[in-house]
Amino acid sequence: MRAAVVSVIGVWVCASGCGGKTLDLGHDTNEGPGYATPDTIAREVDAAPGTPTVIASHQYGAFNIAVDDTRVYWTTSGSPPPGRPDLAKESCLVRSCMKDNCADTVVTYASGGAMPGALRVNRTYVYWHSSTDLLGPQQILACPLDGCIGAPTTIVESGAGAFAVDDAHIYWQSGGATLMQCSFDGCAGAPTMMTFQSGRGSALELDATDIFWIEGASTASGAIMALPKDKSAPARTFVSKLRGPYSLTVDSGSVYWVEPDAQGSEVTLKRCPTTGCSGDPSIVASQQQYARSLHVQGDYADWFTADLPPLYPSNAVGTLRQCPITGCGAEPRIVADDQRSIVWTAIDATHVYWTISDQRPDYIDGAVRRIRRRP
């Protein structure tokens, strides 16, 4: 059962599962966060296509995001606004809430400590990277979905790179060169080494039977690798001779990735069956400027493009786009445009969810938003 959350004179209090802390989430003003309610979600159902709903506002430096069947999870990595040290508790957060009633269901898993990064969810736990420096050594921490009683559990002590979870195990890249595995509730400092990578790895995705990752993503020697979860066969090269691939995802029998041109600005979205490419990969979409955060579910792929490279999310204006997995050339459908400071996305069967970092001096519009994927 998930943690109950009640309102007491404007202060949100977790009845259970929030580390024993009272959560003062403020009011729906410039001084505190605002959250979607059943009423605002109902209005979204009747809204014209292209009209987003704000799931959570005033989330300073909103960063990574994930969803499961009922909840949306997000992290914040920003500092409090200038002159507002009282909002320090609103930085370095890991939070979740119900998709259709955020205001009454907020759970905070971590706050005011080390910066959280990548975020993953299975049926039991929420996991995240944690570090004093987003470019430095990473721990992996975890809490039950209902919230931690006390401090989060440390799953990986340090040196964790990209990671992924299923309902039995967590997999991560250690030191960029070794793929490791342990039980989803921890492995008491004795993880299993799955394979040694021949080059520095990045990205990590799973299907029911295999692990996929990007390796050696330099100008013309990038590859996607695959390994059975049960180690019944050695790691194999899934597809090779790729130019700087990134944004790997797996869904419904296919592997998808993003591959930039020589300048890095014009991007092609590609796919191959999980059994491997026979010939050239299929092209899902082409000529997508600075495309990132590719996700696939059902018959459609979703991603966003930006007018600036990925190192400038606070200034970039993003456009959410969508395409049938059978391909749409250079003309994907626009789901939402003019999304300034967009950082990351997640999808479910019906909606796209995204974070807005908004690093302007007042920081008031860092947010989590969603929009219907199809009209």
pLDDT < 50 positions in the chain: 1-30, 363
pLDDT of residue 268: 96
pLDDT of residue 112: 72
State what percent of residues in the chain have pLDDT above 90. 48
pLDDT of residue 309: 85
Residue 260, SS3 per DSSP: strand
Of 269, 239, 240, 241, the C-alpha closest to 257 is 269
pLDDT of residue 266: 87
Residues 256, 260, 264, CA angle at the centre, nearest 5°?
Answer: 150
pLDDT of residue 323: 96
d(CA 117, CA 335): 26
The predicted-structure confidence for 311-349, as pLDDT tens digits, reads as follows 766 678 899 999 999 999 999 999 999 888 899 999 999
pLDDT of residue 359: 59
**Which residue's entry shows tokens 């009282």?**
86
pLDDT of residue 3: 34
d(CA 83, CA 356): 21
Q: 319 to each of 11, 186, 207, 284, 323, how far by Cα in Å?
A: 36, 39, 28, 17, 13
Q: Taking the model in full, what pTM does it have?
A: 0.88
